[in-house]
Chains A and B, each alone.
Chain A
Amino acid sequence: MTDFAADSILVMVDVMPSGEVAKSAAGLLGAASGVGTPVAVVVTTPDLLSGAAEQAASLGAHVVLTATGDTSVLSAPAVDALVAAAGLVRPDAVLVSNSIEGRDIAGRFAARTRSGLAADAIGVSRDDEGIVAHHSVYGGAYNVDSAVTFGAPVITVRQGAIDSRAEAQPLNALPLEVAPAGAPAATVESFDQVQATSTRPELRGAAKVVAGGRGLGSKEKFELVDQLADALGAAVGASRAAVDAGYVPHSYQVGQTGVSVSPQLYIALGISGAIQHRAGMQTAKTIVAINKDGDAPIFEIADFGVVGDVFTVVPQLIAALEAKKK
Chain B
Amino acid sequence: MRIVVLVKEVPDTYGDRKLSLETGLADRAASESVLDEIGERALEVALSFAEKHAGTEVVVLSMAPESALATVRKGLAMGAGSAVQVVDEGLRGADMGLTAEVLAAAVKRTGFDLVIAGNQSTDGTGGVLPAMLAELLQVPHATALSSVEIGEDVVRGARASDAGTMTVSAPLPSVISITEALPDARFPNFKGIMAAKKKPFETLSLADLDVDPMDPGAARSIMIAVSEKPPREAGVKITDEGDAGEKLADFLASNRLL
Contact = CB atoms under 8 A, between A and B. Distances in A.
B42 to A, nearest CB: 14
Contacts of B174: 186
Contact of B169 (A119, A187, A294, A312): A187
B10 to A, nearest CB: 11
Interface stretch (B58-66, B196-204, B247-255): B247-255
B67 interface: no
A56 to B, nearest CB: 17
A326 interface: no
Contact of B142 (A16, A74, A302): A74
B212 to A, nearest CB: 12
Contact of B135 (A108, A274, A314): A108
Contact of A324 (B122, B131, B249): B249
Interface stretch (A27-35, A99-107, A161-169): A99-107
A99 B161 contact: yes
A174 interface: no
Interface residues of A, number: 97
Interface string B102-135: 0000000000000000011011111111111111
B48 interface: no
B68 interface: no
Contacts of B218: 114
Contacts of A185: 140-141, 170
A50 interface: no
B231 to A, nearest CB: 8
Contacts, number: 293
Interface string B224-242: 1111110011111111100
A276 B120 CA distance: 14
A245 interface: no
A317 B249 contact: yes
Given A138-B17, A257-B180, A276-B13, A186 B141 contact: yes
Contacts of B139: 184
A191 B119 CA distance: 20
B257 A107 contact: no
B186 interface: no
B16, B163, B249 pick with most chain A CB within 10 angstroms: B163
Contacts of B168: 74, 186-189
Contacts of A312: 240, 245
A111 interface: yes
B151 to A, nearest CB: 13
A130 to B, nearest CB: 11
Contacts of B129: 107
Nearest to B170: A186
Given A101-B161, A138-B19, A147 B224 contact: yes
A192 B162 contact: no
A187 B170 contact: yes
A119 B233 CA distance: 29
Interface in B12-45: 13-17, 19, 24, 38
B244 interface: yes
A316 B257 contact: no
A45 interface: no
A6 interface: no
A320 B245 contact: yes
A120 B159 CA distance: 20
Contact of B136 (A111, A144, A256, A306): A111
B189 interface: no
Contacts of A303: 235-236
B257 A302 contact: no
Nearest to A105: B131
Given A149-B219, A189-B169, A265-B252, A316 B246 contact: yes
B249 A107 contact: no
B211 interface: no
B217 A304 contact: no
A308 interface: yes
A156 interface: yes
By Cβ-Cβ distance, the 10 closest A-B pairs, closest first, are A316-B245, A308-B240, A107-B131, A320-B249, A107-B128, A303-B235, A317-B245, A186-B170, A119-B126, A111-B135
Interface of B: 13-17, 19, 24, 38, 95-97, 100, 119-120, 122-136, 138-144, 146, 156, 159-171, 174, 179-181, 217-229, 232-240, 243-253, 255, 257-258
Given A191-B166, A324-B249, 17 more contacts: A17-B164, A22-B163, A74-B142, A104-B131, A110-B96, A116-B221, A137-B19, A137-B125, A138-B19, A149-B222, A184-B140, A303-B236, A304-B251, A307-B237, A308-B240, A313-B245, A323-B249
29 contacts: A74-B170, A100-B119, A103-B128, A104-B143, A106-B131, A107-B129, A108-B134, A111-B135, A112-B135, A114-B217, A115-B219, A116-B220, A117-B132, A118-B221, A184-B139, A185-B170, A186-B174, A187-B170, A190-B167, A191-B167, A192-B166, A275-B16, A300-B234, A305-B236, A308-B244, A312-B240, A313-B240, A315-B245, A316-B243
